[in-house]
Amino acid sequence: MTDIELALEHHLTHELDQLQPRPVPTEAVHGRARAIRRTRRVWAAGTLATAAVLGTGLSVLNPMGLRLSADGGGNMVTVNAPHTDAKGRSVFSGSEEGKRWSVAVAPGECPSHDGFAEACSGSPGNDPVELAAATSAGSTTTYAVFFRSDIARIDMTLSDGEQVTLLPGTVHGNRVALLVMPPKIGITRAGAYAADGRLVAYSISFQADGVAHLAMWYLPDETPTQPEASGTITGTTPKGQKASVDVHIGPFGFCYTVTQRPTPGAIPATNCRPLTAPGSDDVPPRDLDWVALGGRVDGQANHVDFELSTGTVRVPVVHIGGYSFAVCFEDYGFTVLGKTTYDASGQVIDHTQLPAKP
Amino acid sequence: MRADRDGHDAEFDEFMVSRWPSLVRFAYGLTGDHGHAEDLAQATLAKALVSWSRVSRAEDPDAYVRRILVNLNRRRFRRRRVEERLGGEAPEAAAPDSTDRLDQRATLIPALMELPPGQRAVVMLRYWDGLTETQVAAILGCSVGNVRSQASRALARLRTNPLLHDWSAS
């Protein structure tokens, strides 16, 4: 081992040995395991019954780890209203391409199905509805749909024209609906309604890589007028890797797809917010060694200085569809300290200083 | 049957009690958060219990359980939505939470959190667990070459960390 490896080994041991875990949660582990076993048993029984009636239909464990069983329903996607069972658990259920699914979540616990893990890691935000999705290529997509406190119901229109109504259950104190979508069906529109039935806002989703993203929310009387446009911003990372961001503009808002090139099989990462900075809870896919930083800037902007802990990076502005963007590609390991936007004459248009970390 | 189940559970309980601290510490090295680490360790053990007959028969049950933990942690990162902090607040630092009893002067774990998750897993398995490159590759389901390159990149990034730099210098 080299010196640095020995040092790493020593300091990892030293630091982690100081962490004092709480007592072994024996009951919690057994309870969680019982929940997994119980769900499997329930689905096994349901499958046998269905097979007896229909003469077909075997239990399927899809790549998301979600137990499904055959059902005769005609709709591609159905979602039942969540209810609380005798044990106080929120029970979510529905079907996807005729296959029923069901998840029971005890208070304070997370769904036992991995595909719904997002229901525990996400939270509602400022938008009426937040979507958190988990998917794998060519497979179903599971969504945890977070309701803002003033939202009582969400109506979704799917790409095949179906309508799905979502009502909230409770997961980890959040008001959440769970949804399973087949790979070929997308979400085209979401309407968020208040308890009195009034439409609060609606959003047109951007669908990429099998996942719907809700970017821009419109008031009921607003009509999306934003013209559609797209373009690619390319660049090179400090280590010489070719990088690019595809910018999509439309009534859905502004969405970005980050791709590492020419890495074969690299998974593009799409988001409908300005681009990332490292250290946030969300991270780009593991295939990426760098991050794209920046996003839309003032139309008068000529260039932008990103002030990073590793130095200042000057980025020229790129114009796509009448909008201006400044994007740079940086290796991991920096902190964003600020951003200064300049016009063509070198005058500062905008300066953002980020608070220092404690 | 019942005795068999109890027998299995007793064996598992022994395993759980003996491995709990190291699983939490390993998970902490991947997440940088005490709460997430304990939740991840708990979920890992629950999955191991459900498949205990298979886990206990495995050639290396510890490696099997590490694999469960790494895979569960990977799913935390599936979400493609990427939050922006530039326009408003600073990116969230993956700092240890206040419930930790870690030495505040310790700086390696936060530095680890700035690595991509794959490199982080390699560092923890290779340099904290002390596994060989072949063992790490088996747990992560990738090639030995990939483990080697991930470790090399991680070391290059961590090299500037004062703790490691000082050690190397001395």
The DSSP string of A79-99 is EPPPEE-TTS-EEEEEEETTE
Check CB contact under 8 Å for A32 and B167.
no
How far is residue A151's CA from residue A200's CA, in Å, rounded to a whole number?
A: 8
The rounded mean pLDDT for chain A is 77
- Picking from B74, B89, B164, the nearest residue to A11 by CB comes out as B164
pTM of the model: 0.53
* B131: closest CA of chain A, how far (Å): 11
Residues 6+ apart with CB under 8 A from A104: A35, A39, A85, A89, A90, A91, A92
Check CB contact under 8 Å for A19 and B117.
no
Tokens representing A270 are 């799409």
- Picking from B17, B85, B114, the nearest residue to A332 by CB comes out as B114
How far is residue B132's CA from residue A352's CA, in Å, rounded to a whole number?
A: 46
The tally of CA atoms less than 13 A away on the side-chain side of residue A278 is 23
Check CB contact under 8 Å for B103 and A15.
yes
* A-contacting residues in B 101-140 (Cβ below 8 Å): 101-103, 106, 108-109, 113-118, 123-124, 127-128, 130
Mean pLDDT (whole number) for B148-157 = 89
* B164: closest CA of chain A, how far (Å): 6
What's the pLDDT band for A158 if we cut at 50, 70, 90?
Answer: very high
pLDDT for res A189:
94
Residues 6+ apart with CB under 8 A from A18: B101, B102, B103, B106
Does A298 touch chain B if contact means CB atoms closer than 8 Å? Answer: no
Mean pLDDT (whole number) for A46-57 = 27
Contact A315, A325 (CB under 8 A): no
Tell me: pLDDT of B92 over 80: no
Q: Closest residue of B to A337, CA-based?
A: B90
Pairing mode, strands A290-297 and A217-218 = unpaired
Check CB contact under 8 Å for A283 and B9.
no
Contact A195, A131 (CB under 8 A): no
Whose tokens are 């400090």? That residue is: A238
Tell me: pLDDT of A137 over 60: no
Contact A342, A303 (CB under 8 A): yes
| Cis, bond preceding B116 (omega within 30 deg of 0) | no
Mean pLDDT (whole number) for A236-263 = 79
Q: Quote helix, strand, coil % in chain B, to nearest 5.
A: 70, 0, 30
CB pairs under 8 A between A and B: 216
The rounded mean pLDDT for chain B is 74
What residues form DSSP beta bridges with B4? none
Q: Amino acid letter at A243? A: A
* B77: closest CA of chain A, how far (Å): 7
pLDDT for res A127:
85
Q: Closest residue of B to A40, CA-based?
A: B50
Check CB contact under 8 Å for B82 and A211.
no
Does A20 touch chain B if contact means CB atoms closer than 8 Å? Answer: yes
Tell me: pLDDT of B100 over 70: no
User: Which of A218, A185, A184, A223 has the alpha carbon at shortest distance from A203?
Assistant: A218
How many angstroms separate the Cα of A162 from the Cα of each of A17, A33, A178, A204?
A: 55, 36, 17, 15
Contact A181, A143 (CB under 8 A): yes
pLDDT for res A138:
62
- Name which of A1-15, A68-82, A170-184, A249-263 the model is least confident about: A68-82
Burial A298-327 (b: 16+ CB within 10 A, else e): eeebbbbbbbbeeeebebebbebbebbbbb
Check CB contact under 8 Å for B101 and A19.
yes
Mean pLDDT (whole number) for A92-107 = 88
Q: Of all helices (H) and strands (E), which one includes residue B147? A: helix B144-158
Tokens representing A46 are 């349901």
Q: How many CB atoms lie within 10 A of CB A155?
A: 15
How far is residue A96's CA from residue A71's CA, in Å, rounded to a whole number?
A: 9
* A-contacting residues in B 22-61 (Cβ below 8 Å): 24-25, 28-29, 34, 37-39, 41-43, 45-47, 49-50
Contact A27, B46 (CB under 8 A): no
Mean pLDDT (whole number) for B45-61 = 84
Whose tokens are 């996942």? That residue is: A211
Pairing mode, strands A199-204 and A253-261 = unpaired
Tell me: pLDDT of A197 over 90: yes
